[in-house]
Amino acid sequence: MSTNLINKYNIPGPRYTSYPTVPYWDIDTFSLSKWKKSVKRSFSESNTTEGISLYIHLPFCERMCTFCGCNKRITKRHDVELPYIHALLKEWSLYLNLLETKPKIKELHLGGGTPTFFSPKNLEYLISSLFKGVDRAKDCEFSFEGHPNNTTKEHLQALFDVGFRRVSFGVQDYDENVQKAIHRIQPFENVKYVTEMAREIGYTSVGHDIIFGLPFQTQEAVINTILKTKALLPDRLAFYSYAHVPWQKGNGQRGFKDVDLPSAEQKRMQYEMGKKLLKKVGYVEIGMDHFGLQNDSLYKAMEDQKLHRNFMGYTASKTQMMIGLGVSAISDSWYGFAQNVKNIEEYQHLVNENIIPVYRGHILNKEDEIIRQHILNLMCHFETNWKEDDLYFKELPEVLQNLKELEIDGLLEISRNTVKVTEKGRPFVRNICMAFDLRLQRSIPETTLFSMTI
């Protein structure tokens, strides 16, 4: 990846966990009644064949990690656990009342926050209660995010006993200076313990998250982190760029200055060296920012052309409907998106009043559906086409014209009815998707809304 290309294409851009992206949702025409209608439609179309996915947001953390932009509440009070769990179960009951038949759960993911902030007993209670009167798909996959410092054997065993087989641990970086800057002191021994314990219990997929571009991070630190990761050989890895969004106030990204961050050139070197090392160790690049061993379900999904991307990131299979439970969680009915309120007290109040706690959303029109499919194709398979009439749209010639310069730079290949991302172009897939993003092209934001693409 040349410095010239980075300088040229390293601009703010969406990560495309949805289309339209959240800043371009048409919230003025959205309503709770429209959202409920889209949920019922999607469920009736897909539950029997695919099942549905659940994402559960558990927002509590005992300490602030300054690299994190997620919605969270910092507290050491654990008496918040049960009231929040009761609110989650109440919200789930409100959705169950909408559905005409028993839902079949294919995917379930616990995110945060810190899911392992909750006690093993309370996590087991939450999951067991969620599944009363609900079926599990035969090929279901349950996963959770674990903090290496507070994930215990009891956490791993309790979640294993209720069906979890995949866990991901946030590593970020093993360098002590970096850990101090991001307020995440986490010795290698802690990660080693939870990784080995998960495998001993029977988890079939253990993942690690590694970040490059962190404050005070050097190329040597990235190399050291990957070499230590090699010793544990997690089944899959997320190796992604730190999304620094200093224009957002109150997101916890403090404790360092902009000058403490690596330059674009340094980040490029960290990425390229890291990618080369991961390949040497035996990892295969999957989609954007993800790597997996050949025994992992994400790799197999890529091989079978079944890789999917949604608000949970890359998943090994697609479900048409994903319901997000909890404060700030986002749901996707395939025909629309809806986000829950971000304040915990407001969230609990609304569900206790028997109101599904969404506060904004978007109902997709026909154009949105077409563009979303192209962006999904690019993000998951690094190519898209319009061989079928239902994927052609009238602005396509203009989009292809906008892609010409990227083609000249060797980042993609354009044929009569196909756009294919080259190996050289993979780090720039977000830029390529931006050319298809008609809402973005029609209304370039006056202020920066997104992190940098490289």
d(Cα 245, Cα 452) in Å, to the nearest integer?
9
Q: What are phi and psi of 253, to 5 degrees?
A: -85, 80
CB atoms near residue 245 (< 10 Å): 15
Q: Is 82 helix (H, G, I), strand (E, B) or coil?
A: helix
- Spatial contact of 20 and 438, defined as CB atoms under 8 Å apart: no
Annotated binding site for S-adenosyl-L-methionine: 55, 67-69, 112-114, 145, 172, 184, 209, 243, 330
**What pLDDT score was predicted for residue 453?**
66
Closest among 428, 284, 320, 305 to 50, alpha carbons compared: 320
d(Cα 287, Cα 310) in Å, to the nearest integer?
12
**pLDDT 10s per residue in the chain (454 long)?**
567 877 787 777 888 989 999 999 999 999 999 999 999 999 999 999 999 999 999 999 888 877 767 788 889 999 999 999 999 999 999 999 999 899 999 999 999 889 999 999 999 999 999 999 899 998 899 999 999 999 999 999 999 999 999 999 999 999 999 999 888 889 999 999 999 999 999 999 999 999 999 999 999 999 999 999 999 999 999 998 887 554 444 444 456 787 888 887 888 889 889 989 999 989 999 988 899 999 898 999 999 988 999 887 888 888 999 999 999 999 999 999 999 999 999 999 999 999 999 999 999 999 999 999 999 999 999 999 999 889 999 999 999 999 999 999 999 999 999 999 999 898 899 999 999 999 999 987 655 667 666 6
The H-or-E segment that residue 251 falls in is none
**What pLDDT score was predicted for residue 259?**
85
Task: Produce one character per residue of 67-89: b if its CB has 16 or more CB atoms within 10 Å, e if not.
Answer: bbebbbbeeeeeebbeebbbbbb
Domains of the chain: 1-20+366-454 (1.10.10.920), 25-363 (3.80.30.20)
Written as six digits, the tokens of 332 are 């996707």
Closest among 355, 358, 356 to 25, alpha carbons compared: 358
**What pLDDT score was predicted for residue 446?**
59
**What pLDDT score was predicted for residue 245?**
52
Closest among 138, 212, 132, 130 to 174, alpha carbons compared: 212
Annotated binding site: 55, 61, 65, 67-69, 112-114, 145, 172, 184, 209, 243, 330
**What pLDDT score was predicted for residue 251?**
44
Annotated binding site for [4Fe-4S] cluster: 61, 65, 68
Q: Which residue has the tokens 């000058």?
A: 259
The H-or-E segment that residue 151 falls in is none
- Spatial contact of 35 and 98, defined as CB atoms under 8 Å apart: no
Written as six digits, the tokens of 193 are 């313990």
Amino acid at 401: Q
End-to-end CA distance of the chain: give it in Å, rounded. Answer: 11
**What pLDDT score was predicted for residue 144?**
96
**What pLDDT score was predicted for residue 247?**
41
**What pLDDT score was predicted for residue 139?**
87
